[in-house]
Amino acid sequence: MIALLVLLSLLFFWGVVSDRLARWSVTAPIAFAVSGVLLAGGDHPVLAFDMDTHTFQRGVELVLAVMLFTDATEARDYERLEGSVGEVRLLAIALPASLVLATLAGALLFPGTNWWLLGVAALVVMPMDLAPIMMFLRDERVPLRVRAALNIEGGFNDGLISPLFVFCVANLLTAPGRSVGDLLLDAFKGAALAVLAGTLVALAAIALVRRSQAAGWAKGADLRLAGLALPFVAYAASVLIGGNGFVAAFVTGLWYAGTAHAVGKHHLDLVHDAAYLMTLAVWFTFGKLIADVFAEGVDSAFIGYGLLVLTVARMLPVLVSLIGTRFTWPERWAIGWLGSRGVTSIVFAVLAYTQLTGREAAFVVNAVSVTVLLSIFLHGITVEPVARWFERRGRPAPAPEGDRS
């Protein structure tokens, strides 16, 4: 009961002073991570919880499922933009190249480390999460196409990475007699069942919601409740038939996005609020993680790894992939630099921590803790200077070249 009182009091306090603290650059990730350090870290924490339990792992999986659903359904006002904003290039070219470079950076800094473990670490630290720079996405001083590119990439990259993450972790946990081919078959089967479950859930939901709206069977509040249930239904349905719950929630969101927009912009407010609340819990968990990690000391190689991941492994593929598009070079640099890390990486890290053991689990947690901390600091202090630079420079007209992919 004490734990419940403390957590709810913390949530209430943040709810009434969040804007005030934002003036001092105290964001929700910072506030709840610091709270996690103070309340859940150390040898005698005020709030003690065990991350090794099945219940905790399932809860973290549900957080990721809801995040993937909201990412897939979230609609932004990008109609003013003609053509794409480079999202295909960012997801199909830059993202795979970034994963390869992150894996090679790990091999360079941690020689002799299992390649599957390096792959897991790369998959955990590379997904974008825009929570640390959320104000940047609403800043009118920044060209809309820059904000759109970051937002669309951030919404889709975690959905693409999640099945690869499951596959690489499975290879680290391979039982004797199980080949890579067997694991590939399992991964394909899990993904196929997830797509099937997500599609069926979405199509049924679309038909029912559209019928309900046309016939006046339910009001807005109840329809919002239905929207909140969807990612959980998709996740549960997929898991029950042996599919990947993350992929199912993401697929359901992709199918349902059009209906959600047609029903009204407030239809998914409840699920977005639930996702926000769940991410605050993840940031609190991150505070406990970093308290445990730094209590034992961190190898300087992890700092170098985090810096390489945030700079070379992220920026070089982005700059190369956007060559020939309408983005100016300063805009390309901004997109490359502002690939902040956050909740998605933390969730993947917690899932790896609960499934791996010993040094492998510690390796992933250390890599993520340092990378996310560096991201919060470096991206947090540079977003305002970047926005001011765009404001001074003005917004140039799009270049005339025809390649807008």
What token pair was written down for 368?
Answer: 């993520």
- Distance between CA 371 and CA 309 in Å, rounded? 8
The CATH number of 25-393 is 1.20.1530.20
Rounded CA gap, 277 and 109, in Å?
A: 36
Which of the residue ranges 27-41, 76-90, 127-141, 235-249 would you say has the lowest mean pLDDT? 76-90
Number of other residues whose CB lies within 10 A of the CB of residue 130 = 23
Per-residue tokens: 162 = 């999640």
Is 90 exceeded by the pLDDT of residue 84?
Answer: no
* Percentage, residues of the chain above pLDDT 90: 26
Is pLDDT above 90 for 48?
no
- CA distance linking residue 72 with residue 58, whole number of Å: 21
Is residue 115 within 8 Å of residue 103, measured between CB atoms? yes
Give Cα 146 distance to the centre of its chain. 19
| From 134-138, 318-322, 323-327, 397-401, the region with the lowest mean pLDDT | 397-401
Q: Domain ranges for the chain, please list them.
A: 25-393
- For residues 250 and 72, is the Cβ–Cβ distance under 8 A? yes
Helix, strand, coil shares of the chain, percent, nearest 5, are 75, 0, 25
* Measured distance CA(246)–CA(374) in Å, rounded: 27
CA distance 393 to 395: 7
Name the CA dihedral angle for 396, 402, 404, 405, rounded to a multiple of 10 degrees. Answer: -160
pLDDT of residue 302: 94
Q: Which two tokens stand for residue 198?
A: 């997500």
Instruction: Give per-residue burial for 334-348: e unless 16+ CB within 10 Å, then b.
Output: bbbbbbbbbbbbbbb
pTM here?
Answer: 0.81
DSSP annotation of 133 reads G
pLDDT tens-digit profile of 283-300?
888 888 888 777 777 789
Tokens encoding 321: 């992939």
Mean pLDDT of 261-272: 83
What is the average pLDDT value for the chain, to the nearest integer?
A: 84
pLDDT above 60 for 149: yes
Distance of alpha carbon 56 from alpha carbon 353, whole angstroms: 11
Count Cα atoms within 13 angstroms, Cβ side, for 107. 10
pLDDT of residue 179: 67
